[in-house]
Structure 1
């Protein structure tokens, strides 16, 4: 599902497979600016010519009928494949639903993705074409990129102070020595029952 924000410039393109929230034919192919975002639709300000005057009209359109004026997907981007049932065109096969791949080609309405597929004992790098409605940017590298920024900041601060800093992630250490209070209860020794040979 595409993510839109206020101020985004989008192209309006009515999709025949989705009847709900379809724009009027006079807005088909026009470009407008997003002014409101709801769960399934967006409000768009678009110019309309009426009797020689150009008026700024506000319309509500479902997100299936619009797309970003310039595709945000670029070669090398990591994306998640998530089939959207409301858009039948360019759907991924069910075996690719929920998988993550890397974009290797971008076209007007779709992207080419390299994604791994297990075939018996082998993992093959498959190339598939999917429409942009069925993908979203992956957040798998967000934590890594955040850690890189934090490490750079730590290195900069350590260099200024002239100290050494540990940048590698460390496993959780074992519990330190501590006292366990019994609150007046006698401790009980637990041990396995000794083996007895029964003739």
Structure 2
């Protein structure tokens, strides 16, 4: 029998898929966006950038920016009834309107 791979991005074939021809692959404005503490942000993973990417389980969730750590942000989310802190780069975050 072949042993199945259980990597970080396993079971994400459709979740981490980009459109066929996006307008711009890695937009610079996504890298330099600035969030303040207590801002609500959506976690939208950009699959073309692996650095600072959260676990795919948190894709599509909304959290609150707790702090900044280097270029990344610490985002607090509730996973069930437990509060979790994720370290995410701004390329994978989107401000909630």
TM-score relative to the length of structure 2 = 0.68
Q: Let me know the Cα RMSD of the aligned residues.
A: 2.3
Q: Which has the higher helix share?
A: 1
Aligned-pair CA distance for 1:107: 3.0
- The answer as to 2:54 corresponding to 1:92 is yes
CA contact (8 A) 2:30 2:91 kept: no
Q: Tell me, in whole angstroms, the C-alpha distance in 2 between the residues paired with 1:96 and 1:128.
A: 9
Match of 2:96 in 1: 138
Match of 1:46 in 2: none
Match of 1:80 in 2: 42
For 1:17-96, list aligned pairs within 5 A. 39-40=23-24, 62-63=26-27, 67-68=31-32, 71-96=33-58
Report which of the two structures shows the higher radius of gyration computed on alpha carbons.
1
- Larger RCO of the pair (alpha carbons < 8 Å, separation 6+): 2
Task: Give SS of 1:133's match.
Answer: helix
Q: Tell me, in whole angstroms, the C-alpha distance in 2 between the residues paired with 1:75 and 1:65.
A: 20
| Structure 1: gaps of 5 or more residues | 1-37, 42-61, 140-199
Residues 86-134 of structure 1, C-alpha deviation per residue, up to 9 Å, x if partnerless?
000111112211000000011332100000102xxxx111011011100
Q: Tell me, in whole angstroms, the C-alpha distance in 2 between the residues paired with 1:103 and 1:84.
A: 18
Number of aligned positions between the proteins: 76
Consecutive aligned runs of 4 or more in structure 1 exceeding 4 Å deviation: none
TM-score relative to the length of structure 1 = 0.35
